[in-house]
Structure 1
């Protein structure tokens, strides 16, 4: 997925994952692609946006707290979490937020 996610009318939830990586890939890119594909078929998943330059920021959007909890407990996601701690991250932080309002702009030609 790329670009800005087209989310539904609020409320919905955002999981903000910020991280600083270790040196080298060590299988990170392959697992990141797998996690994005796997998350995209989870019930309640709305989309994901990601950027990395120094600090990485990934925001995933979800219909409910229950959907987030089920994703957190997904077997492959649990493996990725363990690999993150052992191989890929110097530090990370996860924040879960309820989106109560959103707005935007899109240029049309």
Structure 2
């Protein structure tokens, strides 16, 4: 039984390696930027209100009584209100065009405007 041949990409690999410290001379494709970017989803940030864990722990200790954990519940609700206000502020800035980052749809739209 004959030994199997390696895949084609393995045999072509030597063409693209550096030779004696010089950069590659042959590339598999032309070095041109694409007209669009792939669709990607921005990662969600970390949790803003860690008071929820304190609230749950208090409930567990006090047999899920709201009256015994009123302080923890109130701090959690304050944190949620503060986080919602920050989220509204950021969404308002993004709608006015002052956002720091662009999503893939916006980047593709801008690339279409400036492609020669």
TM bucket (normalised to shorter chain) is under 0.3
Q: State TM-score, norm by structure 2.
A: 0.23
Bigger radius of gyration among the two: 2
Which structure ranks higher in relative contact order (CA pairs < 8 Å, sequence separation ≥ 6)?
1
Q: State TM-score, norm by structure 1.
A: 0.24
